[in-house]
Amino acid sequence: MAAVMVDGQLTKDGSIKIQCDDDCFGYESFTYLSMEDFEAVFTLDWLSGSVIISYMMNLYEKVKNGPIQDHGICFVTASATMMDERKTKSKHIDESSKLLAHRLTKRNNNDIIIETLVLAILDMKTTNCYYLDSLRPIDVHPDLKQIIDAAMVLYAVQTGSNMRVKVNWVNFRCPTQPGSTECGYYVLNFMKEIVHEGLQILIDNNVWKGKYEYTDADFDAAREKWSAYTTKFIFR
């Protein structure tokens, strides 16, 4: 049904603006979705950053307006740490760490920070950072590690905080994707579980109750929730 609605309202070259409360990412929060984004979701293909950002907006609104309990979670948009090929690696890390440090100062006392595209969950109380990557790499992505490590130092300097700034990284054992195109769906499901259950689900080592893979039914549930949220913007 959602596919028919979109196909009837959105041209191949068109896009729709998805907008959320500014508190979601700490600044004016919006993204644009194209017909290609909707087609990818409907066919369970590779997901764009815009799809993941709009899913984060959906989760945020459910926390703020109910029915999800607020566990003190806030989000960092994927674009804050996404590599720009026009920049050198060092410039990318420097600029991204400054953006993240600024986000930490605007987090309104939330202590659990969710950052994508691969998922990093930063606990500001303990400075533990849980790294969830469904490809199961041996090590944490080095660029992301440098960005978050540097951002914590900058944040402490900017706020005059005497908090411990050394990040304890946890390469978390999570469900593993079987193919090459499921990354986005795994990120959506990771985020949903953490937003619903809070940090305790990581402390208890119980993401998706210890199962090794998400199922097609899990993907369909995430797709349906995302579709219900995004298609309402077509008719505004």
The segments of the chain whose pLDDT lies below 70 read 1-13, 83-86, 117, 210, 235-236
Distance CA 108, CA 83 (A): 27
How would CATH label the architecture of 2-7+14-231? 3-Layer(aba) Sandwich (3.40)
DSSP 202-215: HHTT-GGGG-SS--
- Tens-place pLDDT, residues 142-156: 989 999 999 999 999
Residues 120, 130 contacting (CB under 8 angstroms):
yes
Taking the model in full, what pTM does it have? 0.88
Encoding tokens for residue 12?
Answer: 């191949």
Task: Please say whether the dihedral angle defined by the alpha carbons of residues 141, 144, 149 and 150, taken in this order, is positive or negative.
Answer: positive
Distance CA 215, CA 220 (A): 9
Domain ranges for the chain, please list them. 2-7+14-231
Centroid of chain to Cα 161:
26
Centroid of chain to Cα 46:
15
The share of the chain scoring above pLDDT 90, in percent, equals: 39
Please report the pLDDT score of residue 132 as a whole number.
92
Helix (H, G, I), strand (E, B) or coil at 207: helix
Residue 212 neighbours by CB under 8 Å, 6+ apart = 175, 176
